A and B are shown apart, each in its own frame.
Chain A
Amino acid sequence: MSLSLLSPSADGSRLAPVETRHAPLFGFALLAVSCALASFALACATPFAAFAVIAAAMLPLRPALVVVAGAWLVNQGIGFGALHYPVDGNTMLWGAVIGIAALAATAASSAVLRALPQSGTPLVLALALIGGYGIYELVLLAATPFLGGAGDFTAAIVSQIGFTNVAWLIGLVAACEIVRLVNPAKRGHMAS
């Protein structure tokens, strides 16, 4: 993929696979489907930080938060509905904490993207992922004194989930760029 494709759009969003007016619907569908796939494969290790970066790069903060909340809802629906998570207070509270962490990661990613210059999008996305993932893990860690599970915060597990997020971010950015390439309206913009 040519890095020149990853240039900011006219409205300032880092990723613009579709026209601005369709971006919320596209983002919602992309992350809902991605989260469904990830939830079946990874359950509670779903790469929410990657989703947060994609949403923040495509949308203003408020719709980005809504879109990530939608992805979280898909994750929890699949967890309790299809993967048969235990129905107890601890599991439900962990679900809520994951949701809060995903929203915090979205806010952090959005802040990083706004603070950094418009050029060099791949690097900026990487920094946004570092910021988002850091906040995500911190929120989860902050819940462990109340909900348990501090033993899972080993360097191996945290870095493994981090690499999963990197892989998903690369995949999702690639998906956005493919959509942009096949989207006639966006091709027109690029030509002009």
Chain B
Amino acid sequence: MADILAVRPQAASSEQATKDEQFRTLGAVSVAHWVSHFHIFVLPMLFPFLKQQLGVGYVELGFALTVFAVSSGLTQAPIGYLADHLGARKILLIGLCLGGCSLVALGLHLSYPSLIVNAALLGLANSVYHPANYAILSAHMNEARMGRAFSIHAFAGFFGGAVAPAIMAGLVAATGGHGALIAAGAVGPMVALLLMAVGIPDAIGAGRTTSAADAPRQNVITPAIVVLMIFFLLLSISSAGIANFGVVALMGGYGATFSVANLALTTYLGASAAGVLAGGFLADLTERHGQVAAVCFAVNAGILLVIAAMNLPQVLLIGAMGLAGFLSGVIVPSRDMMVRNAAPAGAAGRVFGIVSTGFNIGGIVSPLLFGWIMDRNLPHWVFGVSVVFMVMTVVLALVTERNAQAGKTAEPVPEAHP
């Protein structure tokens, strides 16, 4: 009896220690994701300063962003392999330092060639976050709370992007453009040191993965992963159209003023961030993540179809944009759970790297597509084309779900995701 009584506090203490470690890991990885999205916005926020200092036009500055996107897109999948092979923790720390150092180097030596080289390095650094972060979270978070963990991680990224303009404006005002680049860059290595200090764990060696030696040998380019990559591509195109061209489309085709159009987009993006957090709870309640994504996107497509087809009153327009944004956020944790469930044990880094490439391709294609639509003076079609891509996403989500269910019945894999 005394033994039993003695064991209970010990078990409770061990459970508390596990919870503490999971909380610490989630916090640390989310801070890294915050840095990732913050760094993405550093160069665009400094365009006025860079234009003046370098004496170049917006096309040349835009080319730096293209270099960033291409570098990030091309390296996601190989970085995923490295995350599984060398350890996600190491890759994440290197990425934080590389991204930060590239901005610091640009602040110390500002020239156009230096901008292009450092944009490429920043893109390379940016490619580490999804493979490494999701590999660490997949290996260490409690299975019952995985959806919420993914949602908090995604929200941290949204938050990094949201506060970047204000932080960069403050830094430029306080220290000038060079100082802003150096300070923004120093955040990367600083967070890497913070992660080392709090002892962020690695994905390799965690109970849910296979051994490090076996993991890289598995073939992860399966039809299911390719379908998920296309799913990410369609998602990216359908969302990017509204995020990047929503304001000009609302002003050009619906007679909205600049402030109303901006308010509508802000509502869309803010509601999207709130939706991410809500989606985490939803993802933990169900295993049918594909169906969650399909239903949310189907409703979303309906809302956007109404926006595309009708000139809504301002209040209704803003409300509709808010609802659409919320639903697009809700699917984010489910989306990540779909990828995780499709990943073989020990290969989360590679799988997230490969499917995230879809995002990068979408990021390259969508500005061209929606820019072409706006050049043809067809602002309603910004929403119309988004609807088309959303419907395609719905179909693909259902196909992915059906394949996953079929795979589960045919071949149970209890060790991979208990």
Contacts and interface: CB of A to CB of B under 8 A. Distances in A.
A66 B197 contact: yes
Contact of A81 (B186, B189, B190, B198): B186
Nearest to B182: A81
Contacts of A63: 196-197, 199
B9 to A, nearest CB: 15
Contacts of B310: none
A132 interface: no
A81 B183 contact: yes
Contact of B183 (A25, A82, A84): A82
Interface string B188-207: 01100110111100000000
Interface string B41-71: 0000000000000000000000000000000
B196 to A, nearest CB: 5
Contacts, number: 58
Interface residues of A, number: 20
Nearest to B20: A21
Given A24-B197, A87-B108, A80 B190 contact: no
A162 B13 CA distance: 44
B39 to A, nearest CB: 15
Interface string B168-197: 000000110011101100100110011011
B322 interface: no
A110 to B, nearest CB: 15
B196 A66 contact: yes
A122 interface: no
Interface in B353-406: none
B145 interface: no
B194 A82 contact: no
Interface in A56-94: 63, 66-67, 69-70, 73-74, 76-77, 80-82, 84, 87
B107 interface: yes
B107 A81 contact: yes
Nearest to B179: A81
Interface string B245-286: 000000000000000000000000000000000000000000
B109 interface: yes
Contact of A82 (B175, B189, B196, B197): B175
A28 B178 CA distance: 26
Nearest to A77: B186
Contact of A28 (B20, B24, B179, B194): B194
B251 to A, nearest CB: 38
Interface in B91-112: 104, 107-109
Contacts of A80: 104, 107-108, 179, 182
A17 interface: no
Nearest to B17: A21
Contacts of A87: 108-109
Contacts of B194: 25, 28, 70
A183 to B, nearest CB: 16
A72 to B, nearest CB: 9
A47 interface: no
A80 B176 CA distance: 12
A131 interface: no
B175 A81 contact: yes
Shortest 3 CB-CB distances between A and B: which pairs?
A: A77-B186, A81-B182, A81-B179
Interface of A: 21, 24-25, 27-28, 32, 63, 66-67, 69-70, 73-74, 76-77, 80-82, 84, 87
6 contacts: A24-B198, A67-B197, A70-B190, A70-B194, A77-B190, A81-B107
